[in-house]
Each structure stands twice: as C-alpha cells, then as structure tokens.
Structure 1
Amino acid sequence: MSSSKELHDETPADQPSAVLDRGRPQGEGCPDRELHQSAAPLATGRPDRSSLPESGLQAAVLPQSTAAVQDDRHDDGDPFVAQPALQYIARHPVGSGSYGTVWKGVRKHRTAGTLGFAKLVQDDVAIKFQSHSNASNREASIMAYLRDQNDIHPNVVKVLDVLIGAEGPAIVMESLDGGCLTDRLEQSTGMAESAARSIWLPVLSGLAFLHRHHIYHGDLNPNNIVFNAYGTPKVVDFGLSTHSPCGLVSGPCTVPYEAPEAGFDVPLYKGDNADIWSAGAMLFYMVFGEHAFPPVKHYDAWKELVRTMALRFPCHRRHVSNDLTTLLTTLLALDPSARPALVSIFRSTWARCT
C-alpha cells in the first residue's frame, strides 16, 4: 500500500484531536488517502443544536469523532496485532466544486469473528474533502449533527463520519452510484408525471425530515439529487444549508432554483418556504424539460424576471394534468406565505394520484 503522511492537527494538548492527511493527492499516480479511526473513545455527547451553524468544528465534531491519520505499512494482517478500529481510504476523485472534492473510497473496520479472530469488513464510501471556510465549516457541522441523530431518512444521504484536519474537514458518506437527477432528465420533452412523482415525492419526504430538524437545504436542484444502486433518490450537498431553530436563513441558491426572496445581500427569510419554491422549480423542470424562469446573462435581470413575470406553462406539454399545474402554481408563488406547507403538498390531489 502506498504511504501517507502522518500530520497532527494544531489542537491544544488538553483537547482530543482529529487529524487528516495534509498531502492531498493531485491527479493519477498519487497515493491513496488514508484516514484511520482510533479505537480509544473521546468524550461523549452531542453538539448544541442551537449553535451548530456558528459553533465551528470542535464542538460539533469532536465529541464523537476519533479520527487520526496513520501510516498503515506496518499492518501485516495479524488479527492479534492492535489495529485502528476504523480506517477510511480515499481511492480516486469523482467530482469537485467550489465547496470541495468528492473521492470514492472504502471503509475498513474490524469486527469480532469466529474463534476470537478479528474479521475485516470493507464497504464503499464517498469522502468529501474541503478547505477551512465558513461554508465548509457550516456544512461539516450540519453533517455531524445528522450523523449523531438516532433516526436517519432513506432519502437523505447517510453520514458515516465527519473528520477534521489542518486543511479542513472531511465528510464520509455512503457511496451513491446511480448518478444524479440531471442525468435522467430529457431536456427536450421532460419526464412523464408518474416518473416525476416517483422521484419528487421521496425527495420531498427527505426535505420534510431535514425541516423537522431545523435544517434548510438552500440549494435544491437536480444536481443535488443523487440515486443509489437501487434507484432511491437522496438529497445531498449541504454546502449552502443552514441549521436554524428559528427557521430564518440568508444567502443565495443555484439559479434558476433560487426563490424570489433569496439571494445576495437580502434580509433574513424563511428557509422552509424557500426550499419549497426550489422544489417546485425542480418539479417544473423535471416535467417540462425547461425552467419556469429561464436564467439570463445577468443575475439581477433574472431576479427581476422572477419577481415580476407571471408563471407560464409550455404549450408543447398539453397533456399535463390540471392537478399538476395547480400544484406548481402554488409552489412557485411569489409570496412565500402563499406557498403550501409540506404536509399540504403530500395531501394534494396530484401527490395522492396513483
């Protein structure tokens, strides 16, 4: 196995430390990144939910994360030799963006086998490496919070661990190999209503789960809906998300899925209403193959269009049901208070259609 550098986080000696490999591989021919989970437990307890967005990584991650990077060349496979309880190895990058790079990797962990011998179990994982920033620290805090919940949701990406290093956080998640929603959309004609419903409603269920935990995604769009090998859609990428017990958030979204009230340098607005608008814009695109409010060259011009232009439905999809157009009209209402709550959406005629 290729070697990896052993580097320590600059954490005071009286605090438990979580460290990552500083040497981030660049391109082919680079050694695998190895992240080991220490067998020694750290202090228990969960981060304060009310302060997650601002609390940084120490409070949010360290209570239940015991990560350390080690050189694994000494591992001779002897089940009686003390080994890390958990090890993550990043194999190769699969995607990147402004908020980090996602690597495909594996999780190796030892469990008790027969006759007292340790059994090595290996699972596929995805590891998102990030640099320290307000956005990445906020996302890591939110992911740590999701990791520590007793309940998980089948339509929200499962968080396995959140690790901290000198360069920034690394988020370990389940591996999703089914591609994103963008890959499934046919831009010329869109999806059939039944196909769109089978994807959109589970996504909305995942969104409801997040809202129950006061997490507002802030960037719902087809690129952030990814499928597992069984075709189950999952909400991913919390780089623009906010944990807000009061329900108020701020910040932009991805055009053309940004709610009219959202954006740069705007007052606080309700995160649930903005997510619902984004979900409506995504459903519109799924069915019609074009955007409700197509993006234009300049952001300010697009925002003016969204805030002033009436919603119009493409004439080439005349077979779309009235139930769907009625729902979309309410989802994409300019007034946030006029948009339906999630429970009302699930009770709508279109949602209950089989």
Structure 2
Amino acid sequence: MSQSLFQTIQLGQLTLNNRIVMPPMTRSRASQQGNVANDMMATYYAQRASAGLIVAEGTQISAMGQGYAWTPGIYSQEQIAGWKKVTDAVHAENGVIFAQLWHVGRVTHPDNIGGAQPISSSALKAEGVKVFIDNGSDEPGFVDVVEPREMTKEDIKAVIQEYHQAALNAVEAGFDGIELHAANGYLINQFIDSESNNRTDEYGGSLENRLRFLDEVVATLVDAIGADKVGVRLAPLTTLNGTVDANPLETYPAAAKVLNKHNIAYMHIAEVDWDDAPETPVEFKRDMRESFSNVLIWAGKYDAEKAEQAINDGLADMIGFGRPFVSNPDLPSRIENGHPLAPHDPNTLFGGAEKGLTDYPVYAK
C-alpha cells in the first residue's frame, strides 16, 4: 500500500485529502450549441471526486481559443452555469476541482473558430498536426491545421484580458482555482518554445522575451483571483502539436523561476508518456524542483510505486494519473487497497455520450 500518496497536503488555502491528481483530459462532450458543460460531465467528475485534486478538461477562454469540436468554454453566462453544475456535484462529494484555462493558438481550424484565421506567436503552421471538426455526424472529421497569423501587440493585450476574465468566470462557476494550460503545443507554449516563435519584438528571440507572455498571463490571473488559486501546467520535453524548443533543459527551469516569482499554488508538469518515450532525466527533475518552491505535480506513466518513489525522493509533492482515471472512477481506493485497474476503451475517449464516460464501475470483489 502507498503511504506518501495518502498524506494530506496544503494547496494554497486548501487542505487536500491525498496527493493523487486527476489531470485535465479532453473528452469532447460539451452540449451543443454553445459548448456548455452538462449533467453528464457533472456525473463524470463527481464519480472521481476522491482524487486529492481534479483539474477539469481544457476549457477555452474565448471562441478563438477553441481547437477541437465539442470542447467546453468558460466565456459565456450559459457556460458558467454549466460548469456550476459540475463544481456543485464535485463539492457535494467533498472534492476539490480547478478549471484548466485553455487557448489553443494555432492548433485549430477555421471551422472551429467561426471561420477566422487562427492566431499564434508567429505565422508558422504546426506541421503534420490535425484537429477534429464537427462534420455533422457523431464521428468527428479530422483536418489539417492552417497557417496562423502572428499576434499583434493589441491581440496579446486582448488575450491577456480574456485570461483575466476567464479566471473570474471560473471562480463564479464555483471552481476552487484555475490551472493555466501552458503545455502541449498550445498558445502559451507557442511563445515559450524557440522553434515556434520567430518574433523580433519583446515577445521573441531571447529566452527572457519568449517567457514574457507566460509571465504576463500569470500576473493577470494572480491579479484576478489570487496566487493561492492559480496553477500552471508545462510540458518541457514533449513535442506535441509541433512545438519544439532547442534547449528545454535551460528553458523550463527558467520558466519555473518565472512561476515561482508569482508565488502560485502549484506547477504541474506533463512528462512524455507515449509507449516508448524516454524517461525524464532525474537531474532535470531536480532542477525543476529547485526552481519552484510550492506544490510540484508530475504526471505521465506513473503507477503507485513510481508515484510513491517520486514523493519520497522529494522530486514531487503530488502525482497525476491520467488515463487510469478514465476507467477507474475510484482510482485512489484501488491504489490504496492494491486492487487491479480496469483498462479504458480508447474508442470512447472523445465525443459520444455516457458510454465510456460515466459507465465505468467502481471495484467490486
């Protein structure tokens, strides 16, 4: 049985029951029209409320921030009301839930953003990346992304304001806090990583400049709702959605120091987790730990034993278990009691209804 995973931990003003995190996972089941969180989603999250912390799926901060069909937003009153159902359901089960604020930047298609051209740090297309659009059937249609336009200074200011408002909306919707999605090749990552940012102004070029947008967005989130309610997710060594950094071992400890300066509640790091992915170097994990003082979460390919080790070694404070939470709503109990984990059905991850979302049972002997 895991010991360290089941110790309480302080996260900002909150005391969490355990150190198990349900990380954000896109499930593409928001109600149409309007991309509104719904009763089915409320049931799904409430079933998983025994996690120490739930970070809800990526939630676009504006119509332009949407990358895929059927993902939820948090910029309309209807969307805020939809999320209130979710947060009420989780809180009724004594859970803690943060919203993940998401702007995809160039990882989209005009069909998902009202016909507009996507925006990014630079006018560079994410090569080989596809997104899905609503093609009028239950099966999403996958299409190539298009070349974005480089954001102007006015665009940058406007998006920073959208993040500010989205954080206020999340608190209005009953979330305990927010996580800024700065990982996996989406907008903020497009500014951070050297190969997706060829700007020549104060938002491009040097490492300090490439981290400026992250710095300014975190500052506005802290201003909106307080540092104790803000987390940030980074993905230092992944190359998802076409963003690559020439020197991530230097870039990401520097990013961690930027976050540390704001005294935010946590930093959440997504490790590469495909089947034959390389292990994240321990030295790099130590660098990230030394660069950030508050709660540090790692996620990616962890089992109970590896999670326990990471906490005992002082490299992590909490551990995210992604796909296991899809098919094991009672995951903490299964880990604690050594019960086997149920496999998930990859065919029901995205889109659809209750099947593959809320119909996975708890463990029964």
| Shorter-chain TM-score tier | under 0.3
- Between Structure 1 and Structure 2, the one with more helix by share is 2
RCO higher in structure (CA 8 A, sep ≥6): 2
Query: Whose Rg is larger?
Result: 1
